[in-house]
Structure 1
Amino acid sequence: MNPIHRFGKQAIFSYLVIWFVGSLWMMGVLGSGSFERKWMGIDFAIYHEYACFGFAGALGGALYGLRMFHEHYQELTTQWIYWYLMRPILCFGSAIITIILFESGIMLLEVGDSMSARISIAFLTGYGYGKFMEKLRDLTSTFFNGKNTNGTNENGNGNGSDTPTK
Structure 2
Amino acid sequence: MNLFQRFLKQIIFVYLLAWFIGSLWMMAVFGSGTVQGKLLGINVSQFHDYACFGFAGALGGALYGLRMFHEHYHELTPQWTYWYFMRPVLCFGSAIITIILFASGILLLQVDNSMSARISIAFLTGYGYGKFMEKLKALTTTFFNGTGNGNGNGNGNGNGGDTPKS
TM-score using structure 2 length = 0.87
**One-letter amino acid matched to 1:74:** H
The percentage of aligned residue pairs carrying the same residue is 74
Judged with a 3 Å threshold, the aligned counterparts in structure 2 of structure 1 residues 137 and 3 are, in CA distance, closer, same or farther, namely farther
Partners of 2:140 and 2:29 lie apart in 1 by 35
Secondary structure of 1:74's counterpart equals helix
**One-letter amino acid matched to 1:80:** W
**1:44 corresponding residue in structure 2:** 44
**2:163 corresponding residue in structure 1:** none
State the Cα deviation string for residues 21-58 of structure 1 (Å, max 9, x = none).
Answer: 00000000000000122010111100000000000000
Identify unmatched segments of 5+ residues in structure 2: 152-166
**1:101 corresponding residue in structure 2:** 101
**One-letter amino acid matched to 1:14:** V
**1:113 corresponding residue in structure 2:** 113
**One-letter amino acid matched to 1:76:** L
Contact 1:4/1:78 (8 A) holds in 2: no
Partners of 2:68 and 2:4 lie apart in 1 by 16
What is the aligned-residue RMSD (CA, Å)?
A: 1.5
Judged with a 3 Å threshold, the aligned counterparts in structure 2 of structure 1 residues 142 and 4 are, in CA distance, closer, same or farther, namely farther
**One-letter amino acid matched to 2:32:** S
**1:136 corresponding residue in structure 2:** 136
**One-letter amino acid matched to 1:65:** G
Contact 1:61/1:126 (8 A) holds in 2: yes
- The offset of 1:107, in angstroms, is 0.5
Judged with a 3 Å threshold, the aligned counterparts in structure 2 of structure 1 residues 93 and 54 are, in CA distance, closer, same or farther, namely same
**One-letter amino acid matched to 1:78:** P
**One-letter amino acid matched to 1:142:** T
Partners of 1:35 and 1:3 lie apart in 2 by 42
Judged with a 3 Å threshold, the aligned counterparts in structure 2 of structure 1 residues 2 and 80 are, in CA distance, closer, same or farther, namely farther
1:28 paired to 2:28: yes
Partners of 2:54 and 2:131 lie apart in 1 by 17
**1:74 corresponding residue in structure 2:** 74
- The ranges of structure 1 where at least 4 consecutive aligned residues each deviate by more than 3 angstroms after the TM superposition are 1-4
Contact 1:36/1:44 (8 A) holds in 2: yes
Partners of 1:78 and 1:60 lie apart in 2 by 23
Partners of 1:4 and 1:79 lie apart in 2 by 16
